[in-house]
Amino acid sequence: MQDVLSMTYLWLKAGHIIFVIFWMAGLFMLPRFFVYHQEAPQGSAEDAVWTDRENKLLKIILLPSIIAVWLLGLALAGSIGALQQGWFHAKLLLVLLLSGYHGYLSAYAKKLARGERLLTGKKLRLLNEVPGIAAAIIVVLVVVKPF
């Protein structure tokens, strides 16, 4: 029985890490797409291509990934008893913030598709740093478990 539980934990962990990588890759790509999209003339064929790319990234990679990250992550946390640990609460807060960031990017993609270009290229490049900083802190929390 212990072997089955060990294997289940390892599969949950592997799946969680795989989908975190997919999710993070998408969160890094989307703001970069926005930078290029905003440089395209409004109403042009290039504008339409960027809108299509952003929609595909959101629907094919980001949405399934965030769902899998949450489901596998919560199952993994429950399987190791992390739900009562301080490091997990901090990680959960950061993942909630990253999920909000994901939602913000999704909303901005819709605005760009409508021709609303509210952010500068510089601000979009700065937004591109958010997932990297969050990921670094999350990895430290999970590996070091400082509290």
Residue 2 confidence (pLDDT) above 80: no
- Mean pLDDT, range 108-137, rounded to an integer: 95
Average pLDDT for residues 62-68, to the nearest whole number? 98
CA distance 35 to 32: 5
**In the block, which residue shows the tokens 């291509």?**
49
**Backbone angles phi and psi of 81, in degrees to 5:** 70, 30
User: How far, in Å, CA of 91 to CA of 143, rounded?
Assistant: 11
Radius of gyration, CA atoms only, the chain? 18
Give the max Cα distance, the chain.
61
Whether residue 5 has pLDDT greater than 80: no
Is there a contact between 28 and 110 (Cβ–Cβ < 8 Å)? no
Helices assigned H by DSSP within 57-85: 63-80
| Residue 129 vs residue 7, higher pLDDT | 129
- pLDDT of the residue at 84: 93
pLDDT at 1 over 70: no
pLDDT at 138 (0 to 100): 98
Q: What is the pLDDT of residue 64?
A: 98
Q: CA angle 127-128-130, nearest 5°?
A: 70
The pLDDT value recorded for residue 136 is 98
Between CA 38 and CA 116 the distance in angstroms is: 9
State how many domains the chain has. Answer: 1
Domain that holds residue 89: 2-144
The answer to the question of whether 16 is labelled as a binding residue is yes
Place of tokens 């790509």: 29
Q: Between 7 and 25, whose confidence is greater?
A: 25
